[in-house]
Structure 1
Amino acid sequence: MVEFAMHHAWLVPLLPALSFLVIVFITRPRPKLSAAVSIACMLGSFALAALAAYGVFTDNHFQHRPLIYDVHWFGMQGLNVDVGIYLDPSSAMMIFMVTMVASLVQIYSTGYMKGDPGYPVFFSYLSLFAAAMLGLILSSNLLQMFIFWELVGLCSYLLIGFYSHKISAREAAKKAFITCRVADFALLLGMLAIQIIFGTLNLDELSEIMPHFENYTTAGMMTLIAVLVFIGPVGKSGQFPLHVWLPDAMEGPTPVSALIHAATMVVAGVYLVGRTMFLFTEVEPAMHLVAVTGAFTAFFAATIAITQREIKRILAYSTVSQLGYMMLALGVGSLTASFFHLWTHAFFKALMFLGAGSVLHALHHKADVWEMGGLIKKMPVTGWTFVVGGLAIAGIPPFAGFWSKDEILLATFLEGHYVLFALASCTAFLTAFYIWRMIFLAFFGAEKPENHPHESPGSMTGPLLVLAVMATAAGLIGTPGNPLWQNWIFFGHPHHGEPNIPIMLISTALAAAGIGLAYLLYLKDKDKANARALAGMFRPVYKLIYNKYYVDELYLWFNRKIVDGSARMTYLFDIYVVDGIVNGVGAVTKGLGQNLRCVQTGKMQTYALVFFLAVLVITVALAFTDSSSTALVMGGAK
């Protein structure tokens, strides 16, 4: 079975794709059957992915060479495109993680979406979403990857705007789609340049060619290509300045948020940069761009999260920040650290989003954490699993986030990026602070008498328990004493880093300090007077951060003034200049035609009159001409 799963990995994305078709064309009138088909196919994909991953990680051959199956798709002069699978430790890890999280999200959705009129449609979208992401992961060339990349974007649009009766959901879906299209256009240009210059989009072939790029093009062109390719992930993975769509994506159902933030849409950008590291490592300025963008995004989003009030919006900015961590690791050259954090983040972020969904389900979608309190008593499973997620993302040992975050900090420090290391360390403190601010406000403290919370059904709490176990133990495969992860997920050569005790102590102290400050301000202080006093003392700064640095307003101003203004000027130029010239030429022609038509009346008497007048004019003209000539001749004779 292991060998079968490895050589038939294409079945992993095919099964959820088939469930999408079955639901749309056959089972849609029967909601429960549709959900059963979707979950069964997703669990089948998970089983195949687990077997394939087991086969990869127990065969030393895969440490350096992937398993590639290509089938010719189409070709023309200068362009030959294959479709196939690319199975190596990185893609094996990804398909295992995506199928596991997607399966848990679908099981959770049976309880969360119960009674919704779009129940079967929702499961069909989830299936297509998972199929698109799995197809992207296993793609053996950039064109095939781009097709699935766009399909992932389409699915996110459909799911973010699932509640289409809400204006906010429709607007959020359009915002996500348009923002990512801007980034994807740059990615497409980069791919076209790669095909023109190197003659292939095959990942394995490019990894062999790129180290010798001097034979094909200049360093400047390589830098341009790398930047264009990177802009695609900037949009997809919510990096500054194209991060604005991600917080608004909360308008979709909560299981969608968990899937987008943990295992599909946003990690696609990180995965693409990791998969094309052979391009970025050849261009040092591009590596610096990736690192600086990631570090700044991590800190920038963390500062916004400390002031937000809605539980899902706090988690959304947390995702933006954590994705910045992953990009930072890639920018300093550590695929190991980046994908390790991608792995652990998937579990604790899915756990926290599904936990948030459980809270919203119990409080009839009341989202403001300041209006919650004491939920841990009435919702113990949701509450304590959420606490596990909070410990993991804060970086408290031995939870999963501690090991992966420390790997990023260590890689950044060892590569000599001390400013970025300081920025990432500050982000670690802020992360612990805002997550535990949310936990203390929502789950601890005084209960609100107007709330009547209740624990969610087993279909929702079961996945929370599984994810809590993974958020606790998933990082143990990458500890310094057990570097299993580092031996398999790497770029260039395996990473065998020794434990760095000072870095561990610093990161743990920062996390503990963040939790401690949150405790003092939001739990020990019953009235939250100190927190309100701080907000009042730094009112301008608080307002700036609470309004997300007015980036959305800046984009809105740009659209209204620059884009709409340019469109208005272009419209006026078209109407009064282009159309004026065309219409003027037409008017002159029409006027001439109307005047000339007078000589074409079709009446014989008119023609006779014109003929007579013409003869008369000619006669008179000749008479005067002859008289002048005679006079001239006679005068000459004298």
Structure 2
Amino acid sequence: MNNLLWLIPALPLAGFFLLALAGKRMPLIWVAIIGAGSVSLSAIVMFIIGINFLLLPPTSGHYALTLWTWMDVAGFTPKITLYLDALSLVFVFVITFIGALIHIYSIAFMATDKDYSRFFACMNLFVFSMLLLVLADNLLLLYLGWEGVGLCSYLLIGFWYENPNNGYAARKAFIITRIGDTAMAIGLFVIFYQFGTLLIPEILAKAPALWQSGASIATITALLLLAGGLGKSAQMPLQTWLPDAMAGPSPVSALIHAATMVTAGVYLIARMHVIFQLSPMAQLIVAIIGAATLFIAGFSALTQYDIKRVLAYSTISQIGYMFLALGLGAWTAAIFHFMIHAFFKALLFLAAGAVIEALDHEHNMFKMGGLKNKLPVVFWTFLIGAASLAALPLISAGFYSKDQILWYAWAGQNGTPLLWFIAILGAFITAAYTARMVILTFFGEAKTAVGHIPDKLMTIPLIILAFFSLCAGFIELPHNFGKLTLFSDFLHQVLPETILKSAASGELLFQLLASLATFAGIYTAYILWRKEPERIQKFKQSDFMMRLYSFWHDGWGFDKLYNTLFVRPIIFIANINKNDVIDRIYQGITFVTVGIYKSLSLMQSGSLRWYIMGLVIGAIIILGLQIML
């Protein structure tokens, strides 16, 4: 089966090349077939390989397929080798399966866009880059995919480039993630210097023998890799690009948040978990950053007006839960929540896109309302996604994935009461802003007329994602629910188990507390935005409360801080430096070049007799020189 492995990334890449080279001249139906079909075929190949992997596990625990040697320089010979194990299989499943549903949805959503082929070309390249990232067997190839998703995010966030704000959002995402990417590149140099290789299996095998636990070099390396993950996964302090990334089309937002770029940091830390285990300090920092991020992003989501920005801050918060789990050493819990989050977040973004399309591109939730009966399929699927995001007990997949993280935050080997308290407070806030979003969008009076009903190509992916948002959680029941732990058993061959401080029997109390936090959040939202909305108006009448509300709405002032510390000084220096000596050298070269061009252009008079006269004079000069010599 490993001989088919190359098809998984090759099919989206082939789709990209076809659409990039000939998409403009193709009928729209062929653009759709190539764009969505290539990713769908990749998903089918993934299912064939995945089923074979589960039923007949390879003796080595992985499939590996070497395609060719990338380069051979002074003994450094990285290869283009695809490596599939339990961890990468989960990511490949999410990328291809959810990516295919998003592409199918996009056929209808983008049908009237003038750059239809460019959209699908970029989306195919996005999927290919993420697949390359998770299938790479060495860090150099992984870094190629890592930069590929950064490029594609820039192209797709700024897809509607006619609007200057969209171009700004794309540049912001590209520049901020470059900060983390630079640190990660330095980390790769450190790893190569220490191990003499960038092969991931070799690094993970050699690290425990070469480095002692707590060694400073292990901490430095882990923190450099962490910096890369913070940029791609939009965690503090590099989280500011993601809310503005909502400038792109809704399918782009779904792909970024559910299946590609934002999850890259989670994959990197999980893949390099051995290095993080050798640095307890780095692991603690990962947990603290995750907890802090889920906390601040939750409050920001609670104050947004734009439905897509609510979901953007929600993603930052949910990725924060994954980072918290990674920092606690709860590796399987982090990956389980990644998978469940991919289902319900793709569902929520696509359903939000259907709402926005139906209301003639209206994003403001306070201008929506009354859509419960007008868009029934969208409403019920959105409600299922919202229930999973809010971790509604027992009936939603999100409950089972988030419950593990909350439990490990208390009872895990690295868990603390403070981390648990932040996580449970985050669960309350998540339920509150999720319920607020549902109430404002679908209940109350209709404030904007419905102008477009989503067709089946948009609703069928919603129904499929809604099914998984409800049922996928049952593959991994909590410790005290029974023996069904298929997901952690599957990942155990790659990721270690976290040792608990206490018996799982005490988990029931914490599940009840988590459930109470969820219901309290939903009830609070019901009171404030449905039953007694005047309370919010009274809240805003207080000057302090209004300032606090604006502070949360503006992302806790991070953008203002960065503009003050970095953007404005750089612009100020650039303005002073724009006519320096170096610039004058280039300006001088330009002046001379333009002068020569103008002089030579005088010879182009357009008069035939002057051209003939020039030829005659030239011939006379040449003959004269020959006679003289």
Q: TM-score range by the shorter chain?
A: 0.7 to 0.9
Shift of 1:78: 5.0
Q: Give per-residue Cα distances to partners, 1:407-460, cap 9 Å, x unaligned.
A: 111112113322111111100000000011010011012222x42355311111
Paired with 1:524 and 1:133, the residues of 2 have a C-alpha distance of: 45
TM-aligned CA deviation for residue 391 of structure 1 = 0.4
Aligned match for 1:487, one of 468, 486, 489: 489
CA contact (8 A) 2:40 2:96 kept: yes
| 1:211-237 deviation line (CA, Å, top 9, x unaligned) | 11238x992222111111110110000
Whole-angstrom distance in 1 between the partners of 2:165 and 2:228: 25
- Give the 3 Å change call, closer, same or farther, for CA 560–148 of structure 1 in structure 2: closer
> Which residue of 19, 28, 42 corresponds with 1:45?
42
Q: Are 2:427 and 1:428 equivalent residues in the alignment? A: yes
Cα offset for 1:567? 4.5
Q: Which moved more, 1:369-378 or 1:548-557?
A: 548-557
On the 8 A contact 2:211/2:278 being kept in 1, the answer is no
Q: Is this contact kept in 1: 2:331–2:495, CA < 8 A?
A: no
Determine which of 514, 517, 522 is the counterpart of 1:515. 522
- Distance (Å, rounded) in 1 between the aligned partners of 2:497 and 2:549: 45
In structure 2, the CA distance between the partners of 1:429 and 1:227, relative to structure 1 (3 Å rule), is same
Work out whether 1:325 is the aligned partner of 2:350: no
Tell me which of 62, 66, 70 is aligned to 1:66.
Answer: 62
Q: CA deviation at 1:535?
A: 3.1
Q: 1:108 aligns with which of 105, 108, 117?
A: 105
Tell me which residue corresponds to 1:375: 371
- Aligned partner of 2:621 in structure 1 is none
Distance 1:486 1:27, change over 3 A: same
Q: Which residue type is aligned with residue 421 of structure 2?
A: A
Contact 1:487–1:496 (8 Å) recurs in 2: no
SS, match of residue 77 in structure 2: strand
Q: CA deviation at 1:522?
A: 1.1
Of residues 550, 553, 560 in structure 2, which corresponds to 1:553? 560
Q: Structure 1: any 5+ residue segments left out of the alignment?
A: 580-638
Name the counterpart of 2:571: 564
Structure 1 residue 28: Cα displacement: 3.0
TM-score (norm 1): 0.86
Question: Which of residues 543, 566, 587 is equivalent to 2:550?
Answer: 543
Partner of 2:288: 292
Q: Is the 8 A contact 1:483 1:496 kept in 2?
A: no
Listed one character per residue, the Cα deviations across residues 192-211 of structure 1 (whole Å, up to 9, x for unaligned) are 11111110110110110011
**In structure 1, C-alpha distance between the alignment counterparts of 2:572 and 2:581, rounded to whole Å:** 15
Q: CA deviation at 1:22?
A: 1.2
Give 1:526-605 correspondences, 5 Å limit. Answer: 528-537=533-542, 538-567=545-574
Unaligned runs of 5+ in 2: 586-629
Provide the alpha-carbon RMSD of the alignment. 2.0
Structure 1 counterpart SS, 2:235:
coil
Shift of 1:569: 6.6
Tell me, in whole angstroms, the C-alpha distance in 2 between the residues paired with 1:536 and 1:168. 31
**Equivalent residue for 2:453?**
455
Aligned amino acid, residue 468 of structure 1: A
Equivalence for 1:478: 476
What amino acid sits opposite 2:402 in the alignment? K
Aligned partners of 2:577 and 2:194: how far apart in 1?
A: 36
Once the two structures are TM-superposed, the CA of residue 35 in structure 1 deviates from its matched residue by 1.1
1:224 to 212, 220, 223: 220
Deviation of 1:559 after TM superposition, in Å, equals 3.0
- Tell me, yes or no, if the aligned pair for 2:308 and 2:349 is still in contact at 8 Å: yes
Deviations 1:564-606 (A, max 9, x none): 345567679x659x99xxxxxxxxxxxxxxxxxxxxxxxxxxx
Once residues 571 and 460 of structure 1 are traced to their aligned partners in structure 2, the CA distance between those partners, rounded to angstroms, is 50
Residue 390 of structure 2 contacts residue 518 of structure 2 at CA under 8 Å; is this kept in 1? yes
In structure 2, the partner of 1:501 is 508
* 1:162-218 CA-partner distances (Å, limit 9, x unpaired): 001011110000000111111101000000111111101101101100111238x99
Moved more, 411-420 or 85-94: 411-420
- Please state if 1:160 is matched with 2:157: yes
Find the residue that maps to 2:238 and give its secondary structure.
coil
Alignment of 1:614-633 (within 5 A): none
Matching residue's letter, 2:405:
I
Other structure's SS at 2:64 match? strand
Q: Identity of paired residues, percent?
A: 37
1:146 is aligned to 2:143: yes
Secondary structure of 2:65's counterpart equals: strand
SS of equivalent residue, structure 1 residue 374 = coil
Aligned-partner SS, 1:83: strand
Question: Counterparts of 1:520 and 1:224 in 2: how far apart (Å)?
Answer: 48
Give the AA of the match of 2:395: P
Instruction: Provide closer, same or farther for how the CA distance between residues 56 and 235 of structure 1 changes in structure 2, counting only shifts above 3 A.
Output: same
Alignment of 1:19-38 (within 5 A): 19-30=15-26, 31-38=28-35
Kindly indicate whether the alpha-carbon contact (under 8 Å) linking 2:181 and 2:227 is maintained by their aligned counterparts in 1.
Answer: yes
2:624 is matched with which residue?
none
SS in 2 for 1:28: helix
CA distance in 2, matches of 1:567, 1:420: 43
Pick from 457, 464, 467: which aligns with 1:466?
464
Q: CA deviation at 1:532?
A: 1.8
- Partner secondary structure for residue 278 of structure 2: coil
Paired residues of 1:293 and 1:324 also in contact (CA < 8 A): yes
Equivalent-residue separation in structure 2 for 1:414 and 1:46 (angstroms): 38
In structure 2, C-alpha distance between the alignment counterparts of 1:381 and 1:345, rounded to whole Å: 21
Letter in 2 for 1:469: F
Corresponding position of 1:211: 208
